Amino acid sequence: MQDVRFDNSADYFVDWLRKPISDNKFEFRAMSSQLHFTLNLVWLDSFLSMHEGMLDTLVKLNLNGKPLDVPVRGAVPSQKHFLVSALRDGATAKIEQMETIHPNVSLFCLGLERGLCAKTSAKIFITPKGNAGYPPHLDSTDVLVIQLSGRKCWSIFEKIVESPISGMSRLMTEQEAKAHSVDIMMSPGDVLFVSGGVGHKAACNEDHSMHISIGIEHLTVYDILKHRLHELAIQLPELRKKINTEDPSTVQELIAGLNTFNIKAFDDRSPLAAISHVRRVIASTRPYHKDDSLASILTPPVVDKSSIISAVPWRNTEVVDSATRIQVYATGTVGNQTPLSAPSLNLPASAKPEVEALLKTQTPISLANLPGSLDIESRVLIAKSLLQMGLIELHTGNPPTKPVHF
């Protein structure tokens, strides 16, 4: 266990989580976050009031180990009052989609995704005093817990499942829950990392609790192979053959398909290139917090050589070289299904110095002062394209203050 204070950036957590975790199970750091100054009970009260009518989609309740639905709009006089009543009865409330709802959380999650090659999600849990919330269980993702209000005692058990993937979260068995555990009392500002597959439980014996839980789902061998198999199945008819369970030759068809996949899996790209490709594809489906797409259509900004521009810190971007072109990839293309390829902006390779400068600068800069050799007309066209993608922002007057990190 360590007692560390830091500068509230996602980079701190990335550096921490890249290092080996003790026994590959958990690590606790006291007073390592200042998020509780922003997300607290005052914020929660305001949030619930502002989202009245939508709380049935944003908040999940658990009472006595069973889910309790928040009534839809109009079914009760007030969804917020229903939630308050449920909490009074001992329910635990879970606010989902925090990675897209709150700008600071969104920015932090993007930083983790960029640094850890992972997908993230964020949820806030509120549990009243004298209640446990959820039974002992294990998660399929790594979990970063930040205490926001009150105190909560966490019990950490042994690692039960090694490197679990989606769908492998489950309750602990009675025997597993009787095993030895390490107890940790969390107070506001404390941070706890629990590795995926490690059994744990939490209870509010002395006080209420409000904490945020950030799930970190790393790319796995399974993710890469699954995506590659999907790509090849579209290209190769032998991988799309129908299976007839009554025909003994089906076994041979299956073996032939496996052999084809084994031969073709990395025939046209290296394993590292395949990993980068899948990472870009997954990142492209992540919703982002700051958009401005509607404003850019209804009131298109005027861009000229004197325009002052900076990168949008809410977006992760990547510039990939080819022979004569560059591809600009970005997070934030909203979609329910993971596509085969990530959307991108295709530009001449000669534009790379200007593009990289625009995507990296956090300090507002004029188009005329960008590095590179492109003429001003070309710079204006590139800036308009990046503005349309939501990757850069245009400043008028005083530039906005930099977003606050954790």
Calculate mean pLDDT across residues 119-123. Answer: 92
User: pLDDT tens, 14-25?
Assistant: 989 988 877 778
> Cα separation of 385 and 371, whole Å?
18
**Per-residue pLDDT at 282 exceeds 80:** no
Q: Is the pLDDT of residue 397 over 60?
A: no
CATH assignment of 2-218, among 1.10.1060.10, 3.40.1280.10, 2.60.120.650, 3.40.640.10: 2.60.120.650
**pLDDT tens string 324-373:** 899 888 765 444 455 666 678 899 999 999 999 998 887 888 999 999 99
Average pLDDT of 75-88? 96
How many angstroms separate the most distant Cα atoms in the chain? Answer: 74
Q: Is the separation of the CB atoms in 142 and 34 below 8 Å? A: no
Per-residue model confidence as pLDDT tens digits over 371-394: 999 999 999 999 988 888 778 888
Q: What is the pLDDT of residues 145-192, one digit of tens each?
A: 999 999 999 999 999 999 999 899 999 999 999 999 999 999 999 999
pLDDT of 241: 86
Mean pLDDT of 77-89: 96
122 close to 98: Cβ distance less than 8 angstroms:
yes
Beta strands in 251-395 (DSSP E): 308-311, 317-321, 325-330, 344-348, 365-366, 392-395
- Domains of the chain, by residue range, sit at 2-218, 221-268, 293-395
pLDDT tens-digit readout, 229-245: 988 888 888 888 888 88
Residues composing the chain: 406
**What pLDDT, on the 0 to 100 scale, is given for residue 291?**
52
- Of 69-83, 222-236, 294-308, which gets the smallest average pLDDT? 294-308
For residue 321, pLDDT over 60 is answered with yes
Whether pLDDT at 216 is above 90: yes
What's the pLDDT band for 405 if we cut at 50, 70, 90?
A: very low
Whether residue 6 is predicted with pLDDT greater than 70 in this model: the reply is no
Mean of the per-residue pLDDT values of the chain: 85
Q: Tokens 């769908």 label which residue?
A: 167
Q: How distant is the alpha carbon of residue 235 from its chain centre?
A: 31
pLDDT of residue 4: 38
Residue 245's pLDDT is: 81
**pLDDT bracket for residue 314 (50, 70, 90):** low
* 14: its two tokens: 């990335």
Could you tell me which residue, 398 or 3, shows the higher pLDDT?
398
CA distance 70 to 87: 12
Q: Is the pLDDT of residue 302 over 90?
A: no
For position 288, what pLDDT does the model report? 55
Answer yes or no: is pLDDT of 286 > 70: no
- For range 198-222, the mean pLDDT: 94
Selected from 3.90.930.40, 2.30.40.10, 3.90.1150.10, 3.20.20.140, the CATH number assigned to the domain covering 293-395 reads 3.90.930.40
Output DSSP code: residue 325. E
Over 80: is that where the pLDDT of 284 sits?
no
Say whether pLDDT at 59 is over 70: yes
Query: CB atoms < 10 A from the CB of 183, how many?
Result: 9
